[in-house]
Amino acid sequence: MIEACTFLAAFTLQILVGSVLQPIWFTRYVRAKADAQFPGLDRKSLDRFLSLYRVVTTGIALLGLPLLGYLFNQMRSPHWDIAPVILLLTGYSMAQFSPIVVASLIGARIKGKALLSAPPQAKRTASLQRRGLFEIVSPFTVVFAVAAYFLFAAFAIHIQQHPIAGNFGYILLADVTFSYVLSAITLYWLLYRRKRWPLETPAYRLRAVEVQVKIIFYISFAVIVFLSLFAALILLNLVRWAPIAMSVYFMITTLIVSMVLLTLRRQAETDRLGPTPVS
């Protein structure tokens, strides 16, 4: 019963953070960025788009309520099956992330179209501040991330040798390896990508790279911690706690991603008020 009640609290918080708070932060970020970097953008179209975004996210939040009731009832029954609970939870979490992904793709498309029609900028500004990986995160963090991967790999191989595991250990290792490879590619792209948008100030670019690089590390750690916890719960025969761990993981990931929105909104507002030297 205690697992069901904890899940109730965790999933309610997940709905609140993913479908109520994050859309508010996203809307404010988009408005601040539009004011600072897209002065020619049609405000009415933007308002319409953001209203639609809020409607979709509110719909997803409302959809979460019956799902919460259903999952709570499932978990209260003594013979509940974990597979549909995990599937529904994953599906719902993906649905919570989908509006921001679609909105980012639409934003990238609008930016791409504007870039095609824009004349080349005669004056280009850049900051003389170095933006290397070790200027953003400490070497200790990088070493820790690499060590965490190898420790997790050892743990996954240990799980693989467990009689009940099947291919569970290899699946976990493949998940983490994929996550690390994706993170490494994204890191490289973030640090060395060309500046595309002329109205993006050097300070904004610096802040954007900083916060996104940090978030890649935080998410890598979150993935390792979550998968280790998930595997440990299964090995310790505490499967009933797995949906709670999953819900908390999705909530923490949403909060980490929201750090980008909050930081860049503040930077966009500062840029709009006037140029400031990069500290």
Partner 1 sequence: MDVTIDIDDPVPQFQQLIEQIKAAVAAGALKAGDALPPIRQLANDLELNSKTVAKAYKLLERDSIIETKGYRGTFVHPDAQANCEVDLQDWTLSKLTQTVAELREAGVTDSEIRNAFTAAIGRRPSAK
- Nearer to partner 1 by Cβ, of 98 and 127: the residue is 127
Q: How far is the CB of 62 from partner 1 (least distance, A)?
A: 44
Please tell me the distance from the alpha carbon of residue 148 to that of residue 226, in angstroms, as a whole number: 13
The verdict on 194 binding partner 1 (CB under 8 A) reads yes
Residue type, 185: I
| Sign of CA pseudo-dihedral 13, 17, 21, 23 | negative
Please tell me the distance from the alpha carbon of residue 196 to that of residue 24, in angstroms, as a whole number: 27
**Using CB under 8 A, which of 43, 109, 113, 193 touches partner 1?**
193
**Using CB under 8 A, which of 39, 40, 120, 163 touches partner 1?**
120
Q: How far is the CB of 268 from partner 1 (least distance, A)?
A: 18
- Which listed range, 36-44, 51-59, 122-130, 218-226, lies at the site for partner 1 (CB under 8 A)? 122-130
- Nearer to partner 1 by Cβ, of 85 and 187: the residue is 187
Q: How far is the CB of 259 from partner 1 (least distance, A)?
A: 23
> Which run of H or of E encompasses 202?
helix 202-235
On the CB side of 128, CA atoms within 13 Å amount to 1
Q: How far is the CB of 118 from partner 1 (least distance, A)?
A: 13
Q: How far is the CB of 239 from partner 1 (least distance, A)?
A: 48
Helix, strand, or coil (residue 170):
helix
CA distances (Å), 263 to each of 58, 143, 250, 251, 266, in order?
Answer: 24, 26, 20, 19, 5
Please tell me the distance from the alpha carbon of residue 168 to that of residue 157, in angstroms, as a whole number: 10
- Nearer to partner 1 by Cβ, of 74 and 186: the residue is 186
**Using CB under 8 A, which of 124, 161, 163, 164 touches partner 1?**
124
The verdict on 150 binding partner 1 (CB under 8 A) reads no
- Which listed range, 42-50, 80-88, 175-183, 192-200, lies at the site for partner 1 (CB under 8 A)? 192-200
Structure tokens at 190: 């973030």
Task: Write a three-state SS string for 239-259.
Answer: HHHHHHHHHHHHHHHHHHHHH
- Which listed range, 40-48, 120-128, 141-149, 167-175, lies at the site for partner 1 (CB under 8 A)? 120-128
**Using CB under 8 A, which of 104, 127, 138, 167 touches partner 1?**
127
The verdict on 274 binding partner 1 (CB under 8 A) reads no
CA distances (Å), 36 to each of 27, 100, 194, 209, in order?
Answer: 14, 20, 20, 18
Q: Which residues bind partner 1 (CB under 8 A)?
A: 120-132, 135, 191-195, 202, 205, 277-278
